[in-house]
C-alpha cells in the first residue's frame, strides 16, 4: 500500500526571511527548506555571530541582516514570507513591526499563556497578516500517512488514540526553560494536543495532571497525563515522562490509533535517546485482509526536519492562492492554546482528596 507522506509544495514558492538563529533553525528550519528547495533570502538575530555561524553552515542561506529593518525592507522587495523562530514572549513586538498583509509563520507555542495568544491573534487580525503557527507534528510524513489511511476508511471509525512518551529528555539544552512556570505541556505536549485536535477534533471533556520530577526540582512539571473524552466510545490519552534515566532499552515514544477495522502504531524515534534519536517506524494492522502480523510502511523522513517543510508549504500555498486551506492558521492554533490552558486549569482545580472515613 502507498499513502501520502507530504503535502503538495507550491510550484513557485516565495522566498523566506528568518528572524531568530537558535538551535531549532539549525536543526529543522534550514535543513527542511534546503530539502524543499525554498529560497532563504537571509536571517536576522540580535546575536549576529549566531546568524553568521549558520550562514557558513548552510549554503541555502543567502544573507545575514544587521538589523530587523534591513530584513523587512528586503522582504518587501522580494515578496518574502517571514519565519519567526523566537521565544514566544518576543512574538508580539516583532509582529507589530511587520508590514500589514505580510505572511508569517510563528514558532510554537503561540505565547507563554492564553493572554499572550489572544494578543498575537488580535495583532494578526488587525494587521491582516496571513499567519500560521509552526505546529509541525501533524505534517510529519508518518502523520500525513496516518491521516490518509484514516481518511480512506481503512481502519474504520477511530475510537481510541494514545500518545505515550517515556524517555530521558536533556532539558539543560534549553536553559531558558528553567525560569518558566510552565514547561511540559506548553513546550512539549502541546504538539500532541494539537495532533489530537487534528485527528479527532475538539473534545467534550478533559482531565489533566502535570507534575515535577524529584531529580529536577529547579524545573516546572516534566511529567503529564491527559485524557480527552469525546463520546461514549471515543477517547484520547497523552502520557509523558521525561525522566526515564534507566538506559534507552525501555524508552518509548509512540502514537497509536485504534479503529473499528484496524490500527496504526507510529514510533516517534527522534524522542528516544535524544538528541541522537532513532529512526521512526509506521506499522498497521487491518482486519479482514488475512493479516496475521502487523505490516510496516516505509517512511520518507521523520519529524525533524521533514515536518517543517509541511508548515511552510501550507502557508506558501495559502498565501499564493487563498482558496487553499491554511490548516495551521493562528485561528486554529489559538484553539490549541485554549486547550493547553484548560489542561492547566484541570490540573490546578481537578482531583478529589482521598480522605479515609470510618
pLDDT digits (tens, 9 = 90+) for 259-277: 999 999 999 999 999 989 9
Q: How is residue 324 written as a grid cell?
A: 487553499
Beta bridge partners of 83: 18, 105
- Mean per-residue pLDDT of the chain: 95
pLDDT at 356: 67
- pLDDT bracket for residue 175 (50, 70, 90): confident
pLDDT at 271: 95
Q: Is the pLDDT of residue 62 over 80?
A: yes
Q: Tell whether the torsion through CA atoms of 106, 91, 174 and 223 is positive or negative.
A: negative
- Are the C-beta atoms of 238 and 161 separated by less than 8 Å? no
Q: Is the pLDDT of residue 307 over 80?
A: yes
Mean pLDDT over residues 32-54, rounded?
97
Q: Is the pLDDT of residue 66 over 90?
A: yes
> What 3 state SS string does 165-185 have?
EECECCHHHCHHHHHCCCCHH
Domains annotated on the chain, with CATH: 16-136 (3.40.50.720), 138-296 (3.30.360.10)
- pLDDT bracket for residue 159 (50, 70, 90): very high
Q: Is the peptide bond before 305 cis (omega within 30 degrees of 0)?
A: yes
What is the 8-class DSSP label of residue 194?
Answer: H
Q: How is residue 357 written as a grid cell?
A: 472515613
Mean pLDDT over residues 1-7, rounded?
90
The phi, psi pair for 107, rounded to 5°, reads -65, 140
DSSP per-residue codes, 211-227: E--TT-TTSS--EEEEE
pLDDT digits (tens, 9 = 90+) for 103-143: 999 999 999 999 999 999 999 999 999 999 999 999 999 99
Where do the H-state alpha helices sit in the chain? 23-24, 30-36, 48-57, 68-78, 91-97, 114-126, 141-151, 190-200, 307-320, 330-349
Q: Is the pLDDT of residue 22 over 70?
A: yes
Mean pLDDT over residues 189-213, rounded?
97
**pTM for this predicted structure:** 0.95
**Other C-beta atoms within 10 Å of 153: how many?**
12
Give the C-alpha separation, 342 to 214, whole Å.
25
Amino acid at each position: 500500500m502507498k499513502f501520502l507522506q507530504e503535502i503538495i509544495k507550491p510550484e513557485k514558492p516565495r522566498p523566506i526571511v528568518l528572524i531568530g538563529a537558535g538551535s531549532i533553525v539549525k536543526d529543522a528550519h534550514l535543513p527542511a527548506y534546503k530539502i524543499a528547495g525554498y529560497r532563504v533570502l537571509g536571517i536576522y538575530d540580535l546575536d549576529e555571530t549566531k546568524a553568521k555561524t549558520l550562514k557558513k553552515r548552510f549554503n541555502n542561506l543567502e544573507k545575514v541582516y544587521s538589523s530587523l529593518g534591513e530584513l523587512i525592507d528586503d522582504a518587501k522587495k522580494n515578496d518574502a514570507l517571514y519565519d519567526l523562530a523566537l521565544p514566544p514572549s518576543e512574538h508580539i513586538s516583532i509582529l507589530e513591526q511587520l508590514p500589514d498583509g505580510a505572511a508569517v509563520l510563528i514558532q510554537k507555542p503561540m505565547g507563554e499563556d492564553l493572554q499572550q495568544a489572544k494578543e498575537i491573534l488580535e495583532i494578526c487580525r488587525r494587521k491582516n497578516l496571513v499567519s500560521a503557527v509552526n505546529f509541525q507534528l501533524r505534517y510529519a510524513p508518518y502523520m500525513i500517512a496516518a491521516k490518509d489511511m484514516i481518511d480512506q476508511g481503512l481502519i474504520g471509525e477511530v475510537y481510541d488514540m494514545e500518545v505515550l512518551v517515556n524517555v530521558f529528555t536533556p532539558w539543560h539544552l534549553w536553559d531558558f526553560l528553567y525560569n518558566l512556570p510552565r514547561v511540559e505541556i506548553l513546550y512539549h505536549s502541546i504538539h500532541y494536543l494539537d495532533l489530537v485536535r487534528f485527528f479527532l477534533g475538539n473534545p467534550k471533556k478533559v482531565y489533566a495532571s502535570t507534575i515535577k520530577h524529584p531529580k529536577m526540582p529547579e524545573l516546572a512539571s516534566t511529567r503529564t497525563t491527559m485524557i480527552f473524552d469525546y463520546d461514549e466510545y471515543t477517547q484520547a490519552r497523552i502520557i509523558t515522562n521525561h525522566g526515564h534515566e534507566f538506559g534507552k532499552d525501555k524508552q518509548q515514544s509512540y502514537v497509536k490509533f485504534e479503529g473499528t477495522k484496524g490500527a496504526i502504531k507510529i514510533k516517534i524515534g527522534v524522542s528516544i535517546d535524544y538528541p541522537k534519536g532513532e529512526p521512526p517506524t509506521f506499522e498497521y494492522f487491518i482486519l479482514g485482509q488475512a493479516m496475521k502480523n502487523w505490516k510496516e510502511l516505509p517512511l520518507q523522513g521523520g519529524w525533524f526536519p521533514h515536518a517543517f517543510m509541511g508548515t511552510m508549504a501550507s502557508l506558501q500555498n495559502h498565501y499564493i492562492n487563498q482558496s487553499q486551506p491554511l490548516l495551521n492558521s493562528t485561528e486554529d492554533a489559538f484553539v490549541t492554546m485554549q486547550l493547553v490552558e484548560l489542561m492547566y486549569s484541570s490540573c490546578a482545580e481537578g482531583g478529589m482528596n482521598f480522605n479515609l472515613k470510618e
